[in-house]
A = this chain, B = another copy of it.
């Protein structure tokens, strides 16, 4: 049990530092969805490799907090580790602070890595942990973790203006104006790698699924300052950057430079998106640190509103992806018809294989979900080569996959029937589709928030007493992260309004535990629709080009407009894809989806 040995070594280290506990999050200094392996300390120590979890090690005990998606997996992976599983949001589960205080009610030192917690998390911990005190530390795992992966810095890619549509110089000017700081000395801190990439028109391959270089930026009144591994920037890329007014700094000099900002410079940094390390580096007597004044964050907000080049790129990406999907769907159909055994993992691989046929493909945008039957009801199921199931009968095969192309990012879910379906299965399939169609057809006035539209997707399920426990829609980056903000379509209030140019997913679902999951996901673009003397209305354009299987539809659950919408959608997909398809694929599509 080498994991127990690792915990012991860690405890010795803590003792030597005079601290009684350490909190180990799932994070890096950039607050992204994925981190490099170098930061996967929690996984290394605990053995639990889910995407979310916080490990706490005290001198006396150890425990891991994770959410309901991972209860089963975490319980299995923690076996024999001596680490307790803490099931978040379940009755009786203490918070991290409560649990630490149970052990040290008199107050001891609790260590956190100053690079892995945001300043607002730090403030909350200071208050919740009292009388314990928070001890800020640097990374201590290099010496403990044998064979720890190094931080990777792969070559930085310059994204041509024909894809981005806007120079960094112009982005700098727009944001400076939006902040109202044209005539001030200011420093706007950018810690999220996707914001840096959008600002500087660069991409990378440092982080799995997110096509980003590990980097920071600071926007000042004079320029955009990029902090990246200078050795990973070719002369050609460097020339582009310098030509576009981007100044280059070593990745490691970011905090240092923050500490050297002149006192009179206005600092703008989000407490929840700046590490304790960087927030403190900026702080000094008499210094002003302002919160980002733009709802959702200035860079994040403007990044979410796609320009015409980006919109065109999305259309190309969905065309390329639609062709690949068509090939995968026919591949599945043919094999099932022939009675061949198909496994989930193999289908996931097929997506990547067919996508790779397009030279603009740049990789998957997230780990593909291919799940048959009951596995479809597990929200984060992911088949491995070893654990993959064979596609069975009389249930659904759910496939949620997406890709990066040089001109855009995709995310599509289709659920296809295999064998005979029950009436309940057909009903659920139709209600999910009805919700997807209703949201697709929505028209709404300017200043509408996503939470106002959410019921259009959920309503048909609600009226059947069904429900799904995730959002209906997330933003999608332009050859950037497949999940981005600040917009969303969820039940929870989000003050960000939906603006023309925003790209967002539309993915109602139903999960019947132990039986099946159904999700149908298109990606939609907010666009201007109609003006009159008092109102400006917007609606959605659907970008996804993957046909929807209509064989399970109970038509009397759709009204005339909804039925017409989905038939027209399949026809539109066919007509758009057919010039790019071999005749055998075209014919198969015609027969299967336009019949």
Q: Does A448 contact B (CB under 8 A)?
A: yes
**A420: shortest Cβ distance to chain B, in Å?**
26
Q: Does A453 contact B (CB under 8 A)?
A: yes
B462–A459 CB distance below 8 A: no
Q: Does A152 contact B (CB under 8 A)?
A: no
Residue-wise, chain A 571-589 has the 8 Å CB interface mask toward B (1 for contact) of 0000000000000000000
Q: Does A443 contact B (CB under 8 A)?
A: yes
**A498: shortest Cβ distance to chain B, in Å?**
12
Q: Does A532 contact B (CB under 8 A)?
A: yes
5 closest Cβ pairs, A-B complex: A559-B559, A465-B530, A443-B463, A443-B462, A493-B493
Chain B contacts of A459 at CB under 8 A? 442, 456
A448–B493 CB distance below 8 A: no
What is the bound-complex CA distance between A448 and B445, given in angstroms? 22
What is the bound-complex CA distance between A542 and B62, given in angstroms? 55
**A68: shortest Cβ distance to chain B, in Å?**
11
Q: Given contacts A452-B454, A455-B455, A462-B443, are A467 and B559 in contact (CB under 8 A)?
A: no
Interface of A is mostly: mixed
Q: Does A534 contact B (CB under 8 A)?
A: yes
**A445: shortest Cβ distance to chain B, in Å?**
6
Q: Does A560 contact B (CB under 8 A)?
A: yes
B467–A535 CB distance below 8 A: yes
Q: What 12 additional pairs, Cβ within 8 angstroms, besides A442-B463, A445-B467?
A: A441-B463, A442-B462, A443-B465, A444-B462, A451-B452, A451-B493, A452-B454, A452-B455, A452-B491, A465-B529, A465-B537, A493-B495
**A391: shortest Cβ distance to chain B, in Å?**
28
Q: Does A449 contact B (CB under 8 A)?
A: yes
Looking across the interface, which residue of chain B has its beta carbon closest to that of A461?
B443
**A444: shortest Cβ distance to chain B, in Å?**
5
Chain B contacts of A467 at CB under 8 A? 445, 534-535
**A531: shortest Cβ distance to chain B, in Å?**
9
Residue from the list B443, B465, B493, B537 in contact with A535, Cβ < 8 A: B465
Chain B contacts of A532 at CB under 8 A? 465
Chain B contacts of A495 at CB under 8 A? 493
Looking across the interface, which residue of chain B has its beta carbon closest to that of A466?
B535
What is the bound-complex CA distance between A493 and B454, given in angstroms? 14
Q: List 15 A-B contacts (CB under 8 A).
A: A441-B463, A445-B462, A451-B451, A451-B452, A453-B455, A455-B456, A456-B459, A462-B537, A465-B529, A465-B532, A465-B537, A467-B534, A493-B493, A556-B560, A559-B559
**Chain A interface residue count: which class?**
20 to 34
What is the bound-complex CA distance between A563 and B448, given in angstroms? 29
Chain B contacts of A444 at CB under 8 A? 455, 462
**A434: shortest Cβ distance to chain B, in Å?**
11
Give residues 164-181 of A contacting B (CB, 8 Å).
none
Looking across the interface, which residue of chain B has its beta carbon closest to that of A467?
B535
Q: Given contacts A443-B465, A532-B465, A559-B560, are A491 and B455 in contact (CB under 8 A)?
A: no
What is the bound-complex CA distance between A455 and B493, given in angstroms? 14
Residue-wise, chain A 526-546 has the 8 Å CB interface mask toward B (1 for contact) of 000110101101000000000
Among the interface residues A442, A448, A455, A465, which one has the most CB atoms of the partner chain B within 10 A? Answer: A455
What is the bound-complex CA distance between A532 and B461, given in angstroms? 14
Chain B contacts of A455 at CB under 8 A? 442, 444, 452-453, 455-456
A493–B537 CB distance below 8 A: no
What is the bound-complex CA distance between A441 and B529, given in angstroms? 28
Chain B contacts of A560 at CB under 8 A? 556, 559
Give residues 415-467 of A contacting B (CB, 8 Å).
441-445, 448-449, 451-456, 459, 462-463, 465, 467
**A158: shortest Cβ distance to chain B, in Å?**
42
Looking across the interface, which residue of chain B has its beta carbon closest to that of A465?
B530
Residue-wise, chain A 224-264 has the 8 Å CB interface mask toward B (1 for contact) of 00000000000000000000000000000000000000000
What is the bound-complex CA distance between A537 and B463, given in angstroms? 9
What is the bound-complex CA distance between A26 and B449, given in angstroms? 33
What is the bound-complex CA distance between A441 and B464, given in angstroms? 12
Chain B contacts of A493 at CB under 8 A? 449, 451, 493, 495
**A557: shortest Cβ distance to chain B, in Å?**
10
Looking across the interface, which residue of chain B has its beta carbon closest to that of A533?
B513
What is the bound-complex CA distance between A463 and B565, given in angstroms? 14
Give residues 450-498 of A contacting B (CB, 8 Å).
451-456, 459, 462-463, 465, 467, 491, 493, 495
**A202: shortest Cβ distance to chain B, in Å?**
37
Looking across the interface, which residue of chain B has its beta carbon closest to that of A463?
B443
What is the bound-complex CA distance between A445 and B454, given in angstroms? 13
What is the bound-complex CA distance between A420 and B310, given in angstroms? 51
Looking across the interface, which residue of chain B has its beta carbon closest to that of A464?
B443
**A559: shortest Cβ distance to chain B, in Å?**
4
Chain B contacts of A559 at CB under 8 A? 559-560
